[in-house]
Structure 1
Amino acid sequence: MNLMRNWIGSSSSSDVRQKVQILKNNWDWLSARECDVRTELENAEIQPGKKRRREVDVWLRHVTVKRTEVESISSEVEGQEFLLSKSELNGRIERASEEIKDLLHHGTFLNGLTLDDFRGKSVPLVLTDLIGERFKVNVDRILWWLTNREAFVIGVYGMGGVGKTTLLMNIHNKLLSDSTIFGHVYWVTVSQECSLYRLQHKIAEVVGIDLSAETDEKKRAGILRGRLAILGSTVLFLDDMWKHFLIDEVGIPLEADTCKIILTSRSLEICRRMGCNNESIIKVDTLPENEAQKLFIDRVESYERLSVNVKQIAELVIDGCGGLPLAIITVACSMRGVFEIHEWQNALVEIQKASNWHDDMDNNILLKLKVSYDRLNDRNLQLCFLSCVLYPEDYPIWRETLIELWIMEGLLDEVENRHDQVNKGHSIINKLENVCLLQSVAGSELSDSDGCVGMHDLIRDMAIFITHDNPRFIVKAGMHLEEVPGEENWTEDLVKVSLTGNKIQEIPCQMSPRCSNLSVLFLQNNPLKKIPHAFFMHMTSLTLLDLSATGIETLPDSVSDLESLRLLMLRFCAELVYVPSLSKLTKLKVLNLYGTKIDEAPMGIEGLSYLEEISCGWKPSHLNAFNRYIECQQFRQLRYYGFWLREPGEDFEGPSRISNKEVVISGHVFKEGVLTPLLPYDIQYLQIDDCDITAGASLGSAIPSLCDAMELKNLHIRECKGLEYISSHSNSISLPSILTPLGTVEYLELFGLCGALWYIFSSQNVHNRKLFNNQEVISHQYGKTAAIPPISRIHQSQRM
């Protein structure tokens, strides 16, 4: 260490310390700005409908990194433990000072720290009309209680399917339409397996705040209480409560002018333990005979066309539904367009069987609902419906996701063309909605106008009831399990298993279930660390395997023998470093390795002739293999691909899935002697991060195959050293060759470019003037956004 100090004399030491002092002074200004930004964020984010801009997060991360660097330099100089040469240390100090000034400059945030977040905005819920005078009376009672300063918690209870949720949804929409009653109205579906932590998260989500960074339940409660208190008059609907929670522990401030709760439960005791007094509790009863008959006639639609004999049977069917609105609706919908007396007699027999099930009221209800399932009269349609239970309770399922599931399962194989399969899938969903086995959740904050479907919890219970026998499923999704079901449950007749969203950390090392008929296995969203080799040995019919968002580090070699596999999902397995050869998986259609540590394509993908979707990484040293794959026949059959080319272990953002065909190149060196990746001819999205490009080079000369990318729509460039031109040009009149494809580009982002970008496009020759006139060309540095002016103001010599 003494030798390392010899280079610096007293005068040199004084010079270094002076520069360090300047550095620290600059840091003090930046640190003060950081504190102000964080304080402003705390005040802003508590307002409804606001969230921080992403550029603010980027800036804060850069400041945090710079703090560590300043502390390192200061301690090194003060301790005289110089590990660098004089010139290197001086250069490091000067660079740090300049970067701090840059951060100060970009910390002004002219567009503000936050933007509107409509996730917290309440919207009307999709509902059915209320039936009967009792419902209307209950609506009036609840609205009156809301104006009563002494009633803070209102409870609605009754048996499943009796109409509790429908009652509250009507009140929710009425409050939204008249803001003079209450200023803010929020809906939360609680569900059977909801924990305190999960309930806090759901409430936070609808009121527009993020609690994901805070694990302490008491602190989470404090944050929630503060948010709800500042909102003012608020009604919080808590639907489908199965257990009580202490209001203070949740973080709900119950005051006359602040927050009130309306909840539904099947249990009177839950209502009482949640704080409802006897005066603020409503029991929802089954419908009287006349209202039950009216509801059935409305829903069956063709009642007047029935013969006299059939109407007599229909009346008995109505009686068999026991006044339960859900049973009446599902049975009526299943009998639409049915006029043949024998079919009505058969429906009556099934209803009467269910009514005779006196031992268990729940099973009595489920068997009545099962009539609508039996009435589907199409085994494939029934199997499509049963697959919906693989998702957790109250889970909104995207229509596209459901259709993809059915396609991967082979339930739509009778239709050869994929476009026709998708159309067939939508047709099936519509049929299931028409008979009330699925319901649209459109209009909620979770979906667009027609994006998602869901299942009433009793319909889901009915489906699970069916799958206890034939076909046999194990469905334990979102139930906080810490262990997989015992091996005795994995029988030969088992066909589908869903254990998603639990707390399973390991599978017993000797577990080797003998279930050769198992076709679907969902284990995603579990803290699972390891899967034993023997686990998959006898799953010879496995078609879908989803291990996404687990903690596994390696995929067992036994996966290589799952020759029936069509889908292998390993998304966000952040610790995954090994996948065995896939050469035998000749039926594989979807392979997703996004968000893993896999940095090279698995062995055998070149021979997967049925592969339609792939997300995987490639080492730069394997670019020959990458280029060969891009040129092979198998590549041309892909409907979706997401490739990322990066150095092993490099932290980066992979494919965005904002388009169907994406490539991300990260940390690559573009220079003579280094193989250049070949871009696919049909690429739609290209992102280039932190690459080193020969000084003064254009993007077109660095990646020649870009000239053939005729379908490119999105181009993102971040932190690329040496890049000064998007395209080269010979004069201001001729059209650069690179502009031919880029004339179709709809969105161009340039993030933190090192050095000046001298030339984007010739202003006389840009085909896509919309690109500029809409100001969609954006330059970012440390999160600062600056829209490029309209094309008339762009000149070749203009620097960005």
Structure 2
Amino acid sequence: MVGLSDIPCVGKIVDRISDAAVDALFRGFSYVFSYKNHVKALETEIQKLDTEMQRMSRRVGEEKDNGKIINAGVSTWQTDVEEVKKSAEEILEKYKNRSSWRCIQWMPIPKPLSRSRLGREAAHKAKRVTELSDSANILLANEIAYLSPVENAPISDTVYQTFKSRSDAYDELWKALESEGGSSILGIYGMPGVGKTTMMESIWKEALVKKIFDKVTRADVGNEDLDVFKLQKQIADHLDCHLNPEDDERHRASQLKNRLMNEEKILIILDDVWREIPLHRIGIPLGDGYSSTHHKILLTSRKKKVCMDNKCLHPVKIAPLDTDEAWQMFRNTVVADNIYLLPDESLAQEVCKKCGGLPLLIHAVGKALQFTSHDVWKDALNQLEKGNFEKIADIDPKVYACVKLSFDKLPDDAKSCLVLCSLYPEDAHIYINKLIRLATGSLLVHGGEARIRSMVEILTSSSLLLDSEDYMIKVHDLIRDVARSIAVQDPKYLFSSVRCGSLLPGDVDYCTRKFLRLHLEKNDIFFPDGLVCQDLHNLWIQCNRHAQQFLGDFFGMFVNLRFLLIENMLFCLELRFSLRPLVNLRTLMLDGCQMTQTNANFFPENLETLCSWNCNLPQPLNLPILKHLKKLEILGWDTEVQMAPNTISSMTSLQELHIQSGYKIGDGVSAPILGEISKLTALKSLQIFFLSNSEHFQDTNIFANLLQYNIRVGANWLRTKSRISVNRFIELQGSGLEGLEGLIERAEYVLLDCTDIDVGSIYNSNREAFTDLKDLYIENCNTIEYVARISCGEIQHLKSFSNLGLLEIKDCSALKYLFSNSVAKCLVHLQKLAIVNCPMMEAIVMNEGTSDRDDDIINFCKLQWLKIDNVPRLKSFCIQNKDMHSRSTTHNSAISSSQAQPLFDKKACFIYFIINFNSKITEIC
């Protein structure tokens, strides 16, 4: 008899169906009899996934702290993990809560369907969990985040004010930009301070908002000699185009041209143009048959002729404000109420008229006269009416008078800072830290860093300096020209800034100068014999990254030099150049110099300050015995500085040691350097990075004398998170760091990562610790149970933590709470609080007492931001000590939602804050 299996094709199908049925049957039996094994396998895989999830969370947190955006795949993975863990926990809960899976209670006959269903669910879920664990390894092996694109928008915070007299000019420019045809080159011209750049930036912003261009790029031209590479780089940076500085001009122009032609529509802004710009040399394709529908150029200039020389057929003039508009702006700047207090309002109107309708001057003069008396206003008007001011090219004497008035109203130290800024090239971005070194090194400003920063704030609020990028400022070209003119004539300053080739220009009275800036365009500058500058104490030399020769009597000319700044110079061994003949030199600053071929003979032995920024240093760095040196600063490179043994310890007068990336001794394995630092008995300020924790910090007392410090041990120094400028900073990573507790007690910024240092223990041993602490970060510290506590019987007049503004706790597995209620009451300045991945935490504040009186309420009056993420045992913001201990002995798992209580149980008072929760909290009160 023939069966189905004997029929061709049909037989194969029947066999496969049979095999599948048998496999399914055996799998079903496997689920019935091995369901416990499947559940245990699921528990094991969940534990592995927890480990991967913690790794991922730490990595994600680090990337977010660095301002990066997390890849979508990583975010999806985290979401999938949460969902899978939730469903897996339901399976495990079902297994734990099973009562009896017997068909008949008094007979050992199992319920096969229930067991099979559970085993099958556990097996399938374990497979999914394994897949997620494997994918985590793949994700973590690659970059999980990326930096957001830099916003291509004006940095200036100046707000463009709309005036009727300017609306026609603005509309004309906007119409020309929007039109598909017409001229490719548009221009704005007008006198300095009239608002050309402000209008241009407003057009830039509107063009980005309305998306009439795909990209907008800008270059500041200025009246210096044409620097093609500078213009190419500025344009390319806005387009994310990376030019190789080693390429010649033609190659860079070709690359930039190709980049511009790859974009459909680009607006190219050339600001402060003084001459015809050779577009082909830069790489701008206009004029090569390239249609104006693709790119347009918008340039600003002081002169109409310059616009027309650059092929702008119909440049638009920006005129000064009319009388009513100027008065309106002046009133808004001074604040109308202050004008009403004057006996005669016409006095303010006369002062306003002297500003000539120029917004820059209206703002500067108005700021200078804010909150001043009637006599001050009268004196200001008298000065403006004198009109006997130096004629600067392209600047009206009345304009000079207005700027001079604002200058005269400044504190002396602010004046010194402004004239130093005037020495910089036009449109330069000025690093504030460099300005600080210039001001202190030249002895023009006393009082240190804080004093100079406060002067910068005064200058920016007076509109005499402009905010630029982070940590930088700029000077408007009009303000720069006037300030430089003042610096040249004022007997207090007697500055000069000179550009020269092989010879010094002959139109400068060098013998009367006190501060000289030389911009060397060639590498063979000659200094004449017999020219002695007795009063010249400060010299700033700007080179063009070439091997500089100083021919003639360089040292005879600058015999009394006390301060020397050298920028972008290449020191060659063949030149055998040494500064030792400058016996009076006390401060030497080197910026961006190639110094690999220098040796100890290069440095004067009487130096008191030696600073190196972004210099390529020799390895090892050979320094002479500088017994008078008070400050050594080496900043800018990520690699360690290598020094010979006993180099640092020989500097017996050293008060400030700042080596940002750390240093090592010798050319072999880095020897401990703390021993040398410990010999510096005069040391008051220390900034250094210890690569490892092999130093014996407990064997030295040098730290007790430090007034300022920035110390990192074992941590990547680029991780710095500080929101504010601080004088005492410490960042520690790793174990075995005993001896640094004293620094932690006095610090304003503390970051602890993977360390066994316990903040709570430090506070227990010293109740006066942490009085200046402003930022506290604790990460991956698994021994800490609390941050600080004090019993209710102790003295309550505490100052500890009273200045704390930010507290962030992450991945601390043993942490139970942050503060006792007595300490928490000191947190009157706390603004930000974050608690992430603390699985044992039960409360934020632990109440040591037993009462519920009103005076037990904790007032966080300045808290603005609170984040609680993955804190599963958290039950309440504030909890009694006895309740915490009782719960700890009765519960070993996360608090369920049915047990949850109000988070803010009427114990904490907040004015206003943004709250971000991702924890098992069911109610917020």
The answer to whether the superposition gives a TM-score over 0.5 is yes
Q: Which residue of the partner structure matches residue 396 of structure 1?
A: 429
1:520 is matched with 538
Contact 1:331 1:371 in 2 (8 A): no
Counterpart secondary structure, 2:186: strand
Matched, 1:292 2:311: no
1:430 and 2:434 aligned? no
| Aligned pair partner of 1:143 in 149, 174, 191 | 174
User: How does 1:77-88 map onto structure 2 within 5 Å?
Assistant: none
Deviation, structure 1 residue 545: 0.8
- The offset of 1:403, in angstroms, is 2.4
- 2:566 match: 547
Does 1:128 find its partner at 2:159? yes
Instruction: Give the distance between the partners of 1:560 and 1:141, measured in 2 at CA.
Output: 63
- Corresponding residue for 2:502? 483
Shifted more, 314-323 versus 515-524: the winner is 314-323
Superposed displacement of residue 308, structure 1: 6.3
1:387 aligns with 2:405: no
Instruction: Indicate if the aligned counterparts of 1:551 and 1:576 stay in contact, CA closer than 8 A.
Output: no
- Quick one: which of 343, 360, 371 aligns to 2:404? 371
Structure 2 unaligned blocks of 5 or more: 1-67, 69-139, 679-685, 704-710, 718-733, 742-749, 756-779, 786-807, 813-836, 840-925
| Distance apart, 1:265 and its partner CA | 1.0
SS in 1 for 2:543: coil
Aligned-partner Cα distance in 1 for 2:514–2:207: 46
SS in structure 1 opposite 2:663? strand
Task: Trace 1:692-707 onto structure 2 (pairs within 5 A).
Answer: none
Q: Which residue of 2 aligns with 1:259?
A: 295
CA distance in 1: counterparts of 2:641 and 2:143, whole angstroms: 40
1:619 Cα deviation from its structure 2 partner: 11
Structure 1 position 452 matched with structure 2 position 472:
yes
Q: Which amino acid aligns with 1:504?
A: K
The match for 1:472 is 494
1 CA distance for matches of 2:460 and 2:239?
Answer: 30
Q: How does 1:651-662 map to 2 (within 5 A)?
A: 657=660, 662=662
Shift of 1:272: 2.1
Return the structure number with greater relative CO, CA threshold 8 A, min gap 6: 1
Secondary structure at the counterpart of residue 169 of structure 1: helix
State how 1:162-181 maps to structure 2 within 5 Å: 162-179=194-211, 181=212
Encode CA deviations 1:520-540: one digit per residue, 9 max, x unaligned: 211133335223583233535
Answer yes or no: is 1:507 the counterpart of 2:541.
Answer: no
Deviation (angstroms), 1:203: 0.8
Q: What is the RMSD computed on CA atoms of the aligned residues?
A: 4.4
Distance in 2 (CA, whole Å) between partners of 1:584 and 1:609 is 9
Once residues 260 and 205 of structure 1 are traced to their aligned partners in structure 2, the CA distance between those partners, rounded to angstroms, is: 18
Partner of 1:274: 310
Matched, 1:220 2:252: yes
- CA shift, 1:738, in A, is 8.0
With over 3 angstroms needed to count, the CA separation of the structure-2 counterparts of 1:599 and 1:548, relative to structure 1, is farther
What are the superposed Cα offsets for residues 24-61 of structure 1, whole Å, 9 maximum, x if unpaired? xxxxxxxxxxxxxxxxxxxxxxxxxx9xxxxxxxxxxx
Instruction: From the superposition, tell whether residues 113 and 207 of structure 1 become closer, same or farther in structure 2 (CA, over 3 Å).
Output: farther
Aligned 8 A contact 2:640 2:663 in 1: no
* Aligned positions of 1:25-44 closer than 5 A: none
Which residue of the partner structure matches residue 663 of structure 2?
663
Change (3 A) 1:379 1:228: same
Contact kept in structure 2, 1:570 and 1:594, CA below 8 Å: yes
Percent of matched pairs sharing the same residue: 20
Q: Deviations over 1:133-191 (max 9, x none)?
A: 12233222222222201132211111222111111111112223333x32222232221
Match of 2:608 in 1: 587
Letter of the structure 2 residue corresponding to residue 474 of structure 1: S
Mapped partners of 1:331, 1:675: distance in 2 = 57
Residue of structure 2 in register with 1:46 after alignment: none
Partner Cα distance (1:707, 1:494) in 2? 52
Q: Cα gap change, 1:358/1:469 in structure 2, threshold over 3 Å: closer, same or farther?
A: closer
Once residues 369 and 214 of structure 2 are traced to their aligned partners in structure 1, the CA distance between those partners, rounded to angstroms, is 43
Cα contact 1:546–1:569 (8 A) shared by 2: yes
Q: Is the 8 A contact 1:600 1:618 kept in 2?
A: no
Secondary structure at the counterpart of residue 360 of structure 2:
helix
Instruction: Write the distance in 2 (CA, Å) between the matches of 1:668 and 1:328.
Output: 63
1:106 is aligned to none
Distance 1:121 1:566, change over 3 A: same
TM-score (norm 1): 0.63
> Which position in structure 2 is the counterpart of 1:685?
689
Sort the Cα spacing of 1:679 and 1:198 in 2 relative to 1 into closer, same or farther, 3 A. same
Query: Residues 266 and 744 of structure 1: is their aligned pair in 2 closer, same or farther, counting only changes over 3 Å?
Result: closer
Inter-CA distance 131–339: structure 2 relative to 1 (3 Å threshold): farther
Q: Distance in 2 between matches of 1:113 and 1:308?
A: 63
1:568 to 589, 610, 619: 589
Displacement after TM superposition at 1:125 (Å): 3.6
One-letter code aligned to 1:517: D
Does the 8 Å contact 1:235/1:260 carry over to 2?
A: yes
Change (3 A) 1:110 1:549: same
Q: What CA deviation, in whole Å up to 9, does each residue of 1:280-311 have, x standing for no partner?
A: x2111122121122222222225654566643
**Compared CA separation, residues 186 and 612, structure 1 to 2 (3 A):** same
Report what 1:644 is aligned to: none
Q: What TM-score do the two structures reach when normalised by structure 2?
A: 0.55
Structure 1 residue 153 corresponds to structure 2 residue 185: yes
Counterpart residue identity of residue 221, structure 1: A
Give the whole-Å Cα distance in 2 for the aligned partners of 1:166 and 1:704.
Answer: 55
Q: CA separation in 2, counterparts of 1:293 and 1:676? A: 65
Question: What is the CA-CA distance between 1:235 and the residue it aligns to?
Answer: 1.6
Does the 8 Å CA contact 1:146/1:260 hold for their aligned counterparts? Answer: yes
1:250 matched to 2:282? The reply is yes
